[in-house]
Amino acid sequence: MPMDDILLECEEKMDSALKYLRDELRGVRTGRASAGLVEHIKVQYYGSPTDLRKLANLAVPEPDLIVIKPFDPASMTDIQKAIQSSNIGLTPMADGKLIRLKVPSLSTERREQLAGQVRKMGEASKVAIRNARRDANKDVDKEEKDGLIPEDQAEKGKADIQKLTDDYEKQVADLVDGKTKEIMET
């Protein structure tokens, strides 16, 4: 496998780890209401788990309120059950055609718990990035051992892989710091 392909594959793996972290962080609750808190909740809709965002319109009319308007009114109870069984700590209130979720402000203790959870997510992403680096370095070593690339090109490739790793780890740290700051705001 040519060096460019090894780098490209490594970057794709790192990019997917970063994208996964971004998606996970959108679901972490802060002091403000956000549709991202509930849009990925799985609802049992006619026997198959479906994202809430595919079953309803999600709106945030006020900083502390999420309004859910199901496309199919028959799915209201399924949506309520899914929200209650998810671990977001919000209680749905239904009034006919809408479900309202009041987002209370967070206690200091809860903010610290969420910040710790965000740091764990960030560390998991860093581990995935380092695993991609390890796999890419193994590929470089194998190519060098098989005589497909010279030693100097292998060393340059490993340096490029390390630079890529450092860049992605910095992006993870920036995301985690930003979300932690957002959580700790009152």
CATH 1.10.132.20 domain position(s) in the chain? 3-26+107-184
| Cα angle value 138/140/143 (rounded, 5°) | 110
Q: What confidence tier does 69 reach under pLDDT thresholds 50, 70, 90?
A: very high
The predicted-structure confidence for 70-98, as pLDDT tens digits, reads as follows 998 888 888 888 888 887 777 888 888 89
| Residue-wise pLDDT tens digits, 2-51 | 888 999 999 999 999 999 999 888 877 676 777 777 888 888 888 888 88
Phi first, then psi: what are they for 112, rounded to 5°?
A: -65, -40
> What average pLDDT does the structure give for the chain?
88
Cα distances (angstroms) measured from residue 140 to each of 94, 96, 122, 133? 58, 61, 27, 10
pLDDT for the residue numbered 186: 56
Tell the CATH topology of 3-26+107-184: Topoisomerase I; Chain A, domain 4 (1.10.132)
Nearest to 153 by CA among 130, 161, 119: 161
Token pair, residue 22, equals: 């971004």
* Vertex 34: Cα angle to 29 and 24 (nearest 5): 50
Rounded mean pLDDT, 119-145:
94
CATH pick for 35-102 out of 3.30.413.10, 3.40.50.620, 3.30.1360.40, 2.70.98.60: 3.30.1360.40
Query: Which backbone phi and psi does 42 adopt, to 5 degrees?
Result: -85, 125
> Where, residue-wise, is CATH 3.30.1360.40 in the chain?
35-102
User: Averaged over 53-73, what is the pLDDT?
Assistant: 88
SS3 of 91-110: the string is: CEEECCCCEEEECCCCCHHH
DSSP H or E segment with residue 61 = strand 56-62
Q: Give the model's confidence band at 125: pLDDT under 50 very low, under 70 low, under 90 confident, else very high.
A: very high
For the full predicted model, state whether its pTM sits above 0.85.
no
Q: SS3 helix, strand, coil % of the chain, rounded to 5?
A: 60, 15, 25
